[in-house]
Structure 1
Amino acid sequence: MEASISALLNEFRSHPRFIVTSHARPDGDAIGSTLAMAEILHQLGREPILVFADDVPHTYRTIPDIERIHVTKDARTVEPDLNVPAIVLECDGIPRTGLAGLDGRRLINIDHHASGRLFGAMNWIDEHACAVAAMVYRLALEAGIKITPSMATCLYAAILSDTGSFTYPSTNTETLSLAHNLAAHGANPSQIAQDLYFSNPESKIRLLGAALSNLQTDGPLAWSWVTTSDMDRAGAQAEDCEGVVNYLISIAGVESAVFLRELPLVDRYRLSIRSKGKVDVAQIAESFGGGGHRSASGCTLDGPLTVATERILNQLRMGLC
């Protein structure tokens, strides 16, 4: 069942320690929200244990207190006691975390995706929130938590990244008011933007070149891909693919775009899908076992590349009809 904010805060006060985690391949919202949630728990006198299945991408490593995050595939390596509950942010289920060691724990599920599911003992899903960070901010206000400069920075970075730098439809007066409030509490918008967007490793730019060389368009559709060979030549990691699809959707006249990344060792492709609003890409991603938002979603498809590409393009074409 859906939980109220007051019920969630009562839950936080009922246990001395909490695991806090988010999805595998963490993005800005996952990272910033997790760190901000840790500050809330700390101010409530609770001990947060931050656990991710995958490393924090390079561009987010300047976010305050990033060193507090443990990276492991099994939460029991840092918290073996299964009586310790877990707060799961921005996930539609335990598998999305990529973590073992969560089964059997009491789960508190906080999410803002349209594809969110009520898998926790307590669930708060608000698909109208621009980011989970906005929900964490509401928790802090309701709890009377002091919004420190470090918390404000974490939340601002999360919102900046999850709104596509304030370009997605989730950007409205409430979103901009929240950004204003976080800046007033010590977040430095210019510095955060520079850290997120002007500190790319060379491998990411080389991979972008490979992706753009594969660019294809067909009327309102644009798509591109990279293979594992492209990744190897660029010396790139999976995190270097973040944001490539935004170049495709930025093309004038394009209404929907998809970027496909070949996964190593298996004939499968990870898809990032974007829309300018005419196509609900969340529904399309869900039909393939993925999910996300109306304008930004993702899923995984079996190869070969030509088959995976045609499957997603057919769905996008139908969505544009």
Structure 2
Amino acid sequence: MASGVPSVKKKMEDPASEEGAISLPNPHLEKIKEDFLYHFALGTATHDFPALFGDVKFVCVGGSPSRMKNFISFIAEDLGIGSPSCDHPNICAGTDRYAMYKAGPVLSVSHGMGIPSIAIMLHELIKLLHYAKCSNVIMVRIGTSGGIGLEPGSVVITKQAVDATFKPQFEQMILGKPVIRSTVLDKGLAEELMECGKELNQFNTVTGNTMCTLDFYEGQARLDGAICSYSEEEKLEYLKSAYEAGVRNVEMESSVFAAMCSLSGLRGAVVCVTLLDRLEGDQIITPHEVLKEYQTRPQKLVGHLIKKHHGKQ
């Protein structure tokens, strides 16, 4: 099995319960002697998870593999445990589904686009952290979004992940029945991140609700998809009602991220930069170099948080 970490044939033991430990609310896992995390190409029978990941305290996830590789290089240099020339191998090189990089206590993982993709990744990532006996882990999604009533380049720290009706919930069909889960994020962590934004004082940082949708086009009230069933007036009315409900940005992963962090006992936060103001248009026409700089802003904010926590350890 190809991967960026050495294979060690070692049977996993049940992690001892401790404060801040990762919870797995699935009794069926107790019957599995060897768990193969298929989409990571990592398994408990072939890899020593505590040795490889037991020191992880911070997990940052984002859509693009290249962005997450850039982040691990950035944070390694920021923490003084690597340089820009250091090569950080893809731990999940045995698959092309997701990419994973590690530098000291920081794990950086790509999740693709949309709720289904990030949900699959999170199931396996949460199991990995549990099998590694990690504790007191902070999990942050860093990414891009469409802003509502904000100047492009603003960074939004999510207060609540809400659905398309502005309710703080994630609804999933399980066994043919709707199951609704809370999307509560760690309030203290959001406040810490806002304080980091003030300390950096490099870009506009705000808190607000984040609307999570199932689609990039009609689901986000865009007018430029292949299909559109509403008028421009109806679009603007909807987005303005979202703003009045406290929504400041729109993306496609935050609700399931919040729900799964909450169920697993992880302190979770969502930090996304806005690439445009949706009240002003639908297409991203900002120059590429400006967009590249925008995308570094969540990394800088979360990096500042990690550096502060790391210095206390």
TM-score (norm 2): 0.31
- Structure with the higher strand share, 1 or 2: 2
More helix by share: 1
Greater relative contact order (CA < 8 Å, ≥ 6 in sequence)? 2
